[in-house]
Amino acid sequence: MFSEMFMKLWDNGLIQKGVWETIYMTVLSTAISYCIGLPLGVILNITDKEGIRPLPLFNRILGLVVNFFRSIPFIILMVAMLPVAKLIVGVSLGNKAMIVMLVIAASPYVARMVESSLKEVDAGVIEAAQSMGTNNFQIIWKVLLPEAKPSLITGAVISMVTILGYSAMAATIGGTGLGQIAISYGHQRFNPDVTWCCVFLTVIIVQIIQEVGNRIVRRTDKRHRA
């Protein structure tokens, strides 16, 4: 039923390794992207002209930079950023380099995601906090982020799934994981069952991420506990 290639890959544990590599790249890239994108998103939100610390010119410039990176298709950005990866991690091949690419591509995306989540926080609540003598730093930590938490988590799930998709594309220039197995063993060597197996496993990983995310949101959001 399965091709010889599939059995070989499975017996050698390559598919299992691919699953692990995909998860590892996705999770680590997401984590690092949030370390960069979350503060960026907060800055974008608060320096907006409706924000708590309006700096219109700065906001515009930062917005342009973010949009610049967001508008380059990942596959092109990846190639263009190879020298940057080499500069940061010393290599332009393999998972280390791929994580750098993923972070460069995902951070601006995450920043916009965070910005829009924070925008959902009711302006009245922020005003109430201001009326109590809350300083801007406290508003970020005690009002904006906690109030936007469910939406931030939903955004993180979406970001993670997007990064998972990017990670498969990274296989075209030397990344590993399920994407690489699908391309080099499935597509290029005419073993559709290998490709479909990678698709199936990716779907399962996405489902798990989504389900775990939903559960966390349900548990943390206090708005619908009647």
Give the binding site for another protein (CB under 8 A): 122, 124-125, 127-135, 138, 142-143, 146-147, 149-150, 220-226
Nearer to another protein, 21 or 48 (CB): 48
The dihedral through the CA atoms of 62, 67, 68, 74 has a sign that is positive
Rg of the chain on CA atoms, in Å? 21
Quick one: 142 or 215, whose CB is closer to another protein? 142
Euclidean distance between CA atoms 89 and 78, whole angstroms: 15
Minimum distance of another protein from residue 220's CB (angstroms): 8
Q: How far is the CB of 191 from another protein (least distance, A)?
A: 50
Nearer to another protein, 1 or 224 (CB): 224
CB atoms within 10 A of CB 16: 12
Shortest distance (Å) from residue 214 CB to another protein: 17
C-beta of residue 150 within 8 angstroms of C-beta of residue 81: no
Q: Which of 1, 12, 22, 3 is nearest to 198 (CA)?
A: 22
In the complex, the smallest distance separating the C-beta of residue 123 from another protein, rounded to whole angstroms, is 9
Residue closer to another protein (CB basis): 76 or 226: 226
